[in-house]
Amino acid sequence: MADVYTSASTELFKWVVSTLTRQGVNVGGTAAYPRAEVSTLTENGPSDKDNSVRSSALVLESISDRSLGEAYDINATNLALLQDADDTLDNYRIVGVVEGTISTMEDMGEASLVLYRVINNLTIYVSEI
Amino acid sequence: MAELGNVRRVYLTTAASGGTYTWLTGEQTNSFNRTSEAIEVSDKSTIWQQFIAGKRGATASVTVFIDDTNEQQQKVLKALHGGTTVYCFIGKVTTNSSSTTPSAGDLFEAIVTSISDTNDNGAVASRAIELTVTGEPTHYPTLK
């Protein structure tokens, strides 16, 4: 029984980034496009007395410098990859991934570059193994 | 001394005293409610109402994350299906190498009167269990 609460954020972040990594899209901290980014990952406190089950709010951004359609495509692939991924981390298990809102944005980058962003809010439920 | 509700948990045990205390896995919240009837014995001697204590009783409520493979949750379901009782302890236990013993809380035998499962879209499935205590609960530490 876990009496001390330990955060799953590190393992969860690594799981998301490695799951989203694929050819043709930069994932993580490069400046190139098209890109998929973990914009924020916020872990909420445990919801049971064993400090096992917790939910994390994940904001994924899919960014294209070509079109909104490409950004949407990246977002759809992100979700498909997360759905098909192995749900076991080192010390945790993914209980479920729930999709929340999606919003889009057109953004002026450096040197008048227009960027198209699709921002997806997800909730990931995780439990300790 | 005040303490968090996290440390006062629901355990299933195997007997009215002694036995092995096993935590009801996935527990999120619990409550334990003791009641006593008040029987009116007012007479004309005073304008104020007068009462004596009547039948006493207790109920307990627990919410857990659903785990149908968990032995403790299965015990509770079996008790409702079979109309049998369960032995529960709500409170804090002391664990050493050989045994777990209650240190503060209430040990009781109960009928399982309700098990409600909630399976909401986008949320972890949870189960609310209601228990009605039969007989007197045993309080720890002993009431002086």
Question: What ipTM describes this predicted complex?
Answer: 0.74
Please tell me the distance from the alpha carbon of residue A120 to that of residue A99, in angstroms, as a whole number.
8
Q: Which of A47, A95, A123 sits opposite B28 (nearest CB)?
A: A47
Residue A89 in this model has a pLDDT that exceeds 70: yes
Q: Do B124 and A53 touch (CB under 8 A)?
A: yes
Residue A67 in this model has a pLDDT that exceeds 90: yes
| pTM (global) more than 0.90 | no
Q: Do A125 and B124 touch (CB under 8 A)?
A: yes
Residue A2 in this model has a pLDDT that exceeds 80: no
The mean pLDDT value of chain B amounts to: 94
Going by C-alpha positions, the residue among A68, A126, A125 that lies closest to residue A102 is A68
Q: What pLDDT score was predicted for residue A109? A: 65
Q: Mean of the pLDDT values across residues A37-43?
A: 94
Q: Which of A48, A96, A98 sits opposite B26 (nearest CB)?
A: A48
Residue B97 in this model has a pLDDT that exceeds 90: no
Q: How many CB pairs under 8 A join A and B?
A: 25
- Distance from the Cα of A48 to chain B's closest Cα (Å) equals 4
Residue B82 in this model has a pLDDT that exceeds 80: yes
The mean pLDDT value of chain A amounts to: 90
Q: Which residues have CB under 8 Å from A30's CB, separation 6+?
A: none
Selected for mutation to probe chain B from A3, A49, A122 (highest B CB count within 10 Å) is: A49
Q: What pLDDT score was predicted for residue B15? A: 85
Q: What pLDDT score was predicted for residue A30? A: 67
Residues of A in contact with B64 (CB under 8 A): 48
Going by C-alpha positions, the residue among A16, A18, A106 that lies closest to residue A63 is A106
